[in-house]
Each structure stands twice: as structure tokens, then as C-alpha cells.
Amino acid sequence: MKSYLIQEGKFSKMEKSEINGINSLINFNYMGSAEFEFGALPKSLKRMMWKNSEYGFFKIKNLKNTKTNQCARVFCRVDLKDETIKEIERISQNKYGYKETCHFADRFKNVKSYGEDINFWWDIDNDFMFFFGEDSEKMIKTAFIKMKERNVLTS
């Protein structure tokens, strides 16, 4: 597994009751490349929804945000957990080598960075999401539950 298309974004400030899907929860950054356009996010989301029962949330204890002290977490396929965590650990070491700059590595350094408010990343080729904190995990769980209730992209 090698990540190349990593969508960045930030969580919206909202109440749990206001969440009705991933688009209501995340403000996605404009990535600037055609690979992120033309339905790339909905296609990845569709694959994730189809296999939702195969997905789980996992805490990555050795990756802590230097500013918030929160552990990184991932939403990925259970059978790809170890491989996905290794890839996220690799991403945490370098912000270059992807289609667009990935600011995840900046979370482990005490440096000012353009993407300081970015707190959500989505590998749209390998269909996993990563972020920091238990509250963020709960919000993503709620978003997927709401989408499943509405039968979004599952048929």
C-alpha cells in the first residue's frame, strides 16, 4: 500500500445531532489537482459504505499530536489495519511524495505550518481516513451511521 491521493480537511464545529453525513462533518480543502475532482471522494466513500461492516476504528498510540497530545486514529478495513497503520506512520514522517502536500507530518513537530487547522486526512485511493481524538472518532461514527440509515451509497 502506498498513499498518493490524500484529501485534507477540517472538522466542522457542530453538535452531534447536526451531523447527517461526512460532507456535513468535514470542510474539505481544495487540493488543486484534477485527481481530486470528478467524483473521486464520492467513489471512495461508496467503496467504504459498501464494505462498511469490514471497517473499524483504531488508535495509533505511537503517533501523538504535539500540540493537542491526542493520538492519531484511523478508520480502515480491519483486515488491512496493520498495513494501513504502517502507511500512516510513513506519512507522519514526510509531507511530500503525494499528489499534493500532506500536512499530517507537521502535527509531530513544533513548527508553524500553512495547514495548522487541518485535522482530517482521507486516502481516497486506499479508502481510509485518519485524524486525532476520540471526539472526532465519535463524530465520524455518527456520520457513517446517519448515511447508512439513509441508505446513502449502499445500494
CA distance 67 to 74: 19
Pairing of strands 120-123, 26-28: unpaired
Q: What's the whole-number mean pLDDT along residues 15-20?
A: 84
> Would you tell me how many other CB atoms lie within 10 Å of the CB of residue 95?
17
Q: Which residues contact 6 (CB under 8 A, 6 or more apart)?
A: 91, 98, 99, 100, 102, 104, 121, 122, 123, 124
pLDDT of residue 29: 82
Sequence spans of domains, the chain: 6-149
pLDDT of residue 82: 97
Q: What's the whole-number mean pLDDT along residues 36-41?
A: 83
> pLDDT: is 81 or 34 the higher one?
81
The answer to whether the pTM exceeds 0.85 is: yes
Per-residue pLDDT of 80-120, as tens digits, reads 999 999 999 999 988 788 898 888 888 888 766 666 788 99
User: Which residue in 12, 33, 106 sits closest to 67, CA to CA?
Assistant: 106
Look up residue 75 and give its three cell numbers: 478508520
